[in-house]
Structure 1
Amino acid sequence: MTDRGSAPLEFVTTGLILLVPIVYLLLAIGSIQGAAMAVEGAARGAARVVAEGSDDADARAQAVLVARTALHDFGVSDRDTEIRIDCRPRPARCLSRGGTVRVTVIARAALPLVPDALNLREPMSIPVEASAVQRVSEFAGVR
């Protein structure tokens, strides 16, 4: 009895079976890492804008705009994001001298190759979150 087989065919088949999941895993990790970098940059930029603002309402609006721009630069969808701005010691007023501003950005990193037609975007995504804290200057509002 001779041992004759098709080693090249077996090698290619086994290679494909192992290669496809590894490539998908790398794409998924890249997508999650991109979203993590986006929320980190968005939170940091928004916290700086609020802490350096001159008017509370205007600073909050500008912070949301900065955060959405940072998320958009990384391709993170606006529909899956949440931006929270918390201020201490007075929550109603962010620009209290010596106070702190905490901006939290929550987004969902969509996994690659998930078609929109199946409405699986939400269950097939990974939540990522980042917070940034910025201190308001003791000299805020002084000219």
Structure 2
Amino acid sequence: MFRDFTNKIKALWGRVRENALIVLVIVLVAFLAFGLGRFSVFYSEKGQFKVLYPDGQSASTLTGFLGLGGIREEIVLPPSPQVAGYFVASKTGSTYFFPWCPLAVKISSTDRIYFNSRASAESAGYHTGRCNGL
């Protein structure tokens, strides 16, 4: 029984041997091409681009990989907002927030009070608001 099975396998291998080798070569070439493509991206030269702020306020150069063949780009970003203090509160309210907190943004500019520390805000009678990180 075992000999019959091995003879059947040998006969089948004799018929498909040439086709199997061609398929094996094609698969190996495909894997090799994919691997070389990944290798070339991994070791490619990194592109360089500049971040420019409007009105010449500040400019910095960042180096990073740009996926489109090392194309150099210039990206214009808005200037960072100037924050008067670390915490903000309303003149008519009783809580203080970070200046970027959504609740602090709703306070009108005429009603805002700025504090440089939590202690100064709490000594003025304010308590922490519902803002992440407070």
Structure index of larger Rg: 2
Structure (1 or 2) with the greater helix fraction: 1
Q: Same fold (TM over 0.5)?
A: no
